[in-house]
Homo-oligomer: A and B are copies of this chain.
Amino acid sequence: MSPHPVGQIAATLRTSRSVLIVCHVGPDGDCIGSALALALALDALDVPCIVGSADGVPETLRFLPASARIVTVPPADPPDASVAVECSTPERAGTFAAALVSARTVVNLDHHLMNSQYGTIVYWDTTAAAVGEQVEEIIRALGVPVTPAIAECLLAAVVTDTGVFRFPNTSPKVLRLAAALVEAGASTHRIVEQVYEARTPGSVRLLGQALATVRLTPDGRAAWTVVTPPMLADSGALPEDTTGIAGALRQISGVRVALMFEQTGDGIRVSIRSRDGARSNVIAEALGGGGHAGAAGFTQQGTLDDVVALTLKEVHKELTRPPS
């Protein structure tokens, strides 16, 4: 990491003739909220700015008024500067990867555990609860006041990446940031209602089917469920409605690792959620994926039974590793 990346980033962005802010594929609330907050701050400085997301904006985040500005097609011309938001490698930007690295200055912002440290300025802080914390520092360095709209985007980032202040990453720092954002006009209530309590009937039915068929390992320390294409079709749910299913299974007493296996056209997609020291990312990395200690994932080819067996073997390894 450079000595003062926040100051460097602010200086670069402020003087850029065009900025491209890029989300990772399958963007979450932290990524979208942070990208939009930074874009709104650059608007205030009259720095031309595009926000790109190869996969667009999830339905649950479209309540953020600024989300309408997000484009899904990369710009034709190389931007003056680009900012990668939580892209461990440029490839995580999907169809925006080439545009991202075509910029004169590439800013690499991330708080995840793995990052290849590409780019001109790397601001990689694994102690941040959300990349939104890092973006708030950049906005402060830019000298832009936190408007209600910026506060809403940053609070959406912080609320979603802390699981509404319930994950172990809920630090005093992130709670104080949330306090300042509420003071600036945002509301946790409104964000939670939009992100978590505006579900479609289909997504509720799909969650129901997945919970109703939960299975546990004999020791009760891992729980898993399967989502099949007929379940999606019968419930009327969308593919993105699988979000939250593994997390719901993690609420079972004694469960340290919760898994959702989803049959997709690309193979079996596995979502892992863990707690009590079990590391999701270690399980995912063993099978070609990645993520955080509490949440990770990967995709495997093979039959459902094979992928379940393979995954449960890695889960068992992680749950029985000697204490370090």
A199 in contact with B251 given A172-B180, A175-B175, A214-B208 (CB within 8 Å): yes
B197 near A204: Cβ-Cβ < 8 Å? no
Cβ of A4 under 8 Å from chain B: no
Within 8 A of B (CB), among A36-52: none
Contact string against B for A residues 188-207, beta-carbon threshold 8 Å, 1 for contact and 0 otherwise: 11001100111111001101
A175 near B166: Cβ-Cβ < 8 Å? no
Q: Give chain B residues whose Cβ lies under 8 Å from the Cβ of A209.
A: 208, 212
Interface size class of A (residues with CB under 8 A): 35 or more
B197 near A250: Cβ-Cβ < 8 Å? yes
A: which residues have CB within 8 A of B? Answer: 164-168, 170-173, 175-176, 178-180, 182-183, 187-189, 192-193, 196-201, 204-205, 207-214, 216, 220, 223, 235, 248-253, 275
A252 near B204: Cβ-Cβ < 8 Å? yes
A248 in contact with B164 given A175-B182, A178-B175, A193-B275 (CB within 8 Å): no
From B182, B220, B275, give the contact of A172 (CB < 8 A): B182
Q: Which B residue's beta carbon lies closest to that of A194?
A: B253
Q: Which B residue's beta carbon lies closest to that of A187?
A: B168
Q: Give chain B residues whose Cβ lies under 8 Å from the Cβ of A207.
A: 208, 211
From B171, B188, B208, B214, give the contact of A182 (CB < 8 A): B171
Q: Give chain B residues whose Cβ lies under 8 Å from the Cβ of A175.
A: 175-176, 178-179, 182
Shortest beta-carbon distance, A319 to chain B, in Å? 17
**6 nearest interchain CB pairs?**
A208-B211, A208-B212, A175-B179, A198-B253, A172-B179, A197-B251
Q: Give chain B residues whose Cβ lies under 8 Å from the Cβ of A212.
A: 205, 208-209, 211-212, 235
Shortest beta-carbon distance, A292 to chain B, in Å? 14
A199 near B253: Cβ-Cβ < 8 Å? yes
> Can you pick out 7 interface pairs between chain A and chain B where the beta carbons lie within 8 Å of each other?
A164-B166, A166-B188, A172-B179, A198-B253, A201-B252, A205-B213, A208-B214
Q: Give chain B residues whose Cβ lies under 8 Å from the Cβ of A250.
A: 197
Q: Give chain B residues whose Cβ lies under 8 Å from the Cβ of A210.
A: 208
Measured CA separation A164–B163 after assembly (Å): 10
Q: Which B residue's beta carbon lies closest to that of A212?
A: B208
From B164, B189, B197, give the contact of A168 (CB < 8 A): B189
